[in-house]
A = this chain, B = another copy of it.
Amino acid sequence: MSYRLYYWTGLQGRGEFVRLCLEDVAAPYVDVAREDGDEVMNAFLDGEEAGALPFAPPFLTSGRLVIAQVANILQYLGPRHGLVPDSESARLYANQLQLTVTDLVAEVHDTHHPVASGLYYKDQRDEAKRRAKDFRENRIPKFLGYFEKALSRGGGKHPLRTHSYVDLSLFQVMAGLDYAFPKAMAKQKLPLLRDLAKRVADRPHVAAYLASDRRVPFNTNGIFRHYPELDG
């Protein structure tokens, strides 16, 4: 049985955290909107499909299940594909770390859209400059310092002491921040996160995915956007 992933075409966005899991374990999946167009998601979002009602993409279908919210999807996939340890304490911790990634990703989005998602960036550029300055100076060190500490606590290689979906998400966070804020990121000392990101990128299925045309390049439609004026 094949998973069906629903997410906006043309950008990595939040869908990428799910895609990296599916690719890492070579799970069969259809990237539905990329095959049939974004409008295939409307029936779900409008409540015309059975099952859970998604608030927004990404969502995944697995048989009759409809599963939305990235951390929820990863928590579903993790145990099925060996992407999270078995113990309750480790699963709770994985989910907690993933929800902290979720919080960081929302803050990244708001560096370029601090006023309204529905307005263009150019119409909130002044506010974005202020917010991005705080993000670079305070939030990047706080979040990445936290994950660095979590890695150290897990023995240095993995926050959960073994490969998990959290590792894949931390790779994506580092890749995205390096793209969006290269100057700010060059100032961070994050040896464990840097090493983790490299090890994830070298995993055979991940490396093949990153080299494929399924990996949409970062661009200024996604969550991680490079606007030089926001990088200080």
Contact = CB atoms under 8 A, between A and B. Distances in A.
A103 B100 contact: no
A204 to B, nearest CB: 30
A67 B76 CA distance: 19
A11 interface: no
Nearest to A100: B55
A88 B114 CA distance: 36
Contact of A150 (B53, B114, B116, B118): B53
Interface string A83-110: 0000011001101100110110010001
A43 interface: no
- Kindly state the interface size class of chain A when it binds its partner: 35 or more
B89 A51 contact: yes
A134 interface: yes
A87 B67 CA distance: 14
Contacts of A18: none
A95 B72 contact: yes
A4 interface: no
B53 A65 contact: no
Given A75-B95, A116-B130, 7 more contacts: A47-B149, A52-B92, A55-B143, A72-B96, A114-B115, A115-B130, A116-B134
5 tightest A-B contacts by CB? A116-B134, A69-B99, A52-B93, A55-B100, A69-B96
25 contacts: A47-B149, A52-B92, A52-B93, A53-B146, A53-B149, A55-B96, A65-B88, A65-B89, A65-B92, A67-B92, A67-B96, A69-B99, A69-B100, A72-B92, A72-B95, A72-B96, A75-B95, A76-B92, A110-B114, A114-B131, A115-B127, A115-B130, A115-B131, A116-B138, A124-B130
